[in-house]
Amino acid sequence: MGYEDVYRAWQADPETFWMDAAKAIDWVEMPSRALDDSNAPLYEWFTDGKVNACYNALDRHVENGRAGQVAVIYDSPITGTKAKFTYAEMRDKVALFAGALAARGVTKGDRVIIYMPMVPEALVAMLACARIGAVHSVVFGGFAANELAVRIDDATPKAIIAASCGLEPGRVVDYKPLLDGAIELARHKPEFCVILQREQKPAALIEGRDVAWDAAQEGVAPADCVPVEGSHPAYILYTSGTTGAPKGVVRPTGGHLVALNWTMKNVYNVDPGDVFWAASDVGWVVGHSYICYGPLIHGNTTIVFEGKPVGTPDAGTFWRVISEHNVRSFFTAPTAFRAIKRDDPKGELIKDYDISCLNILYLAGERADPDTIHWAQRTLGVPVIDHWWQTEIGYPAVCNPVGIELLPVKVGSPSVALPGFDIRVLDEAGKEMPRGELGAIVIKLPLPPGTLPTLWNAEARFRKSYLTTFPGYYETGDAGMIDEDGYLYIMARTDDVINVAGHRLSTGAMEEVLASHEDVAECAVIGVGDELKGQLPLGFLCLNRGCNRPHDEIVKEVIKLVRDKIGPVAAFKLAVVVDRLPKTRSGKILRGTMVKIADGQDYKMPATIDDPAILDEIRLALQPLGYAKG
């Protein structure tokens, strides 16, 4: 069957489509039906099934002939370490660690925060939670203590599992003081913390609260898999929204297993036994779906890579990993390729490696610019597939369905809607736009299995953020168009979210931090174009009347404040002081116009602008930073 047939089969009978896909999962009790629409417009899937995610990721493969197959490869150019773990070894490690959590009272439904770098123990911790029905919430290591504290208060974890440190090129990131600081800041206190002591920088433990990773497992019995309902949350993953409070995306277990398993062949075109590599981080959705769960559920070998595309040690690292570990499908963010291209424009380093094992490169997480796609195609000599999805969705919604049929690639488009997704482009009034015209990208409800059913502790926010603007549809927050052939083009976000090096960040959250500086009366943060990272945040500061401190001092202080409050991942390094911000007569800051000025693009003078002269002031303030040149 070709793509059209598969898509039509889903459209004609989604229930049968997903019940068929569900047969590839080992259920303790097979669900009697796929969709539960009893609470529409909130939907759930496979609610009356019983299942365990860890069993599907590990045990079933051990029982079905893959015990000796490598499940996880750890490759850390940053520490010079490599290790391989078979499915049997992973199952045993996970069962024992799950036993350690259970022995300390963690049971089904309890939340566990995981704050770890790219080490195999991060996967062990995630799968151990899944084994006993605990709900994990992984927090990316590049966030500061304050962000961790916000997540602790929202998820109210019984336990936190962390490493003593992470490693960035040229610097050790002390996780433990960040963790201690976060627990101190948070109102909620975990009952205990398990700390993985890394030899690069072991941490001091707090007696009575902290226990070392190894010590926690001494004398405990391995835990069995606990069956959970299909709709039981597998995890919560916080992502940036419009405000400083992150959104806790809930991932339901049953749908997550079914959908991820379906994508491994139909999207990523790998068969069980093949090596699949997603060069991302466990702190992001890509890490959840395609470093941890997806490949393991499907019986693939996955790679935990602790390094960067460049500088660990050079721009040939990706090629070494692909060649050494026989990677068949590879997934990363365009920014990683831009970094490699910058260091090795002619792709000389690839000549040192035989990467003939590689069939396809997948890019996602941000716009894939044509230059980068062409460079990757030329350098790797394989199809380069751009695909589109979001943390909320959990897996690709729009993609060239390579495992079903390789459709013609149109550079600039992530291609077509996958089964499960009825994607439309609407105008502000909710009317469908003609083909080729720009509008809000929405998905007709219900969303398919594995997508978010709600936000943790925030059902009203879920309805307001996603379901209210366009009744009957899920609002993606992206704007774009669909062409005559049904190919989608993503043009921009419709909210205050920006995308920096493939990382999703909230300008609203940064504005909250800037506003907390004692000299700042008013501020705005926008995303400006950047050749390497796609976008970079840039802050405008209006100072309190009477403040005559040097502007560069205040700029330095706010940059430090964002790093301390949100974390280095925000990459907030640009700020200017201005007298006033451009606003509409009703007081709304004209951020869109400021972005256009900064990027040197043409813009229309907003009809509602309060005072057009301010735009010239903005241009002049930006020019010393190298922006607003057009």
Binding residues for ligand AMP, rule: CB under 6 A, are 239, 285, 364-368, 386-388, 390-391, 414, 476-478, 490, 493, 499, 504
Q: In the chain, count H helices and then E strands.
A: 20, 32
Q: How far apart are CB 380 and ligand COA at their closest, in Å?
A: 17
Residue 364: closest CA among 342, 383, 390, 339: 390
Q: Interior CA angle at 277 toward 289 and 111, to 5°? A: 30
Alpha-carbon span 52 to 58, nearest angstrom: 10
Q: How far apart are CB 441 and ligand AMP at their closest, in Å?
A: 9
The encoded tokens of residue 362 equal 């997948």
Q: Which string of x and - marks every residue 499-528 that binds ligand COA (by CB under 6 A)?
A: --xx--------------------------
Alpha-carbon span 71 to 292, nearest angstrom: 10
The encoded tokens of residue 257 equal 């297993």
The yes or no reply on residue 307 touching ligand COA (CB under 6 A) is no
The yes or no reply on residue 365 touching ligand COA (CB under 6 A) is yes
Applying CB under 6 A, which part among 24-32, 165-173, 203-211, 583-591 lies near ligand COA? 165-173
Write phi, then psi, for 256 (nearest 5 degrees): -60, -45
The yes or no reply on residue 380 touching ligand COA (CB under 6 A) is no
Peptide bond into 120 cis (omega under 30): no
From the list ligand AMP, ligand COA, none, pick the one residue 367 interacts with, judged by a Cβ distance below 5 to 8 Å according to partner type. ligand AMP
- Using the minimum distance from each CB to ligand COA, give the nearer residue, 246 or 365: 365
- Using the minimum distance from each CB to ligand COA, give the nearer residue, 308 or 619: 308
Among 6, 9, 88, 173, which residue sits at the site for ligand COA (rule: CB under 6 A)?
173
Give yes or no for a contact between 164 and 213, defined as CB atoms under 8 angstroms apart: no
Alpha-carbon span 330 to 286, nearest angstrom: 12
- Using the minimum distance from each CB to ligand COA, give the nearer residue, 17 or 284: 284
- Using the minimum distance from each CB to ligand AMP, give the nearer residue, 213 or 395: 395
CB neighbour list of residue 402: distance below 8 Å, 6 or more residues apart: 267, 268, 269, 360, 383, 385
Applying CB under 6 A, which part among 131-139, 302-310, 314-322, 374-382 lies near ligand COA? 302-310
Chain CA centroid to CA 185, Å: 25
Q: How far apart are CB 305 and ligand COA at their closest, in Å?
A: 10
- Using the minimum distance from each CB to ligand COA, give the nearer residue, 45 or 330: 330
- Using the minimum distance from each CB to ligand COA, give the nearer residue, 106 or 571: 571
Alpha-carbon span 229 to 236, nearest angstrom: 16
The yes or no reply on residue 286 touching ligand COA (CB under 6 A) is yes
From the list ligand COA, ligand AMP, none, pick the one residue 154 interacts with, judged by a Cβ distance below 5 to 8 Å according to partner type. none
Q: How far apart are CB 580 and ligand AMP at their closest, in Å?
A: 30
The yes or no reply on residue 309 touching ligand COA (CB under 6 A) is yes
Sheet holding 27-29, edge to edge: 27-29, 50-51, 228-229
Alpha-carbon span 307 to 304, nearest angstrom: 9
| Interacting residue ranges for ligand COA, rule: CB under 6 A | 117, 141-142, 166, 168, 173, 280-281, 284, 286, 308-310, 332-333, 335-336, 339, 365, 501-502, 533, 568-569, 571
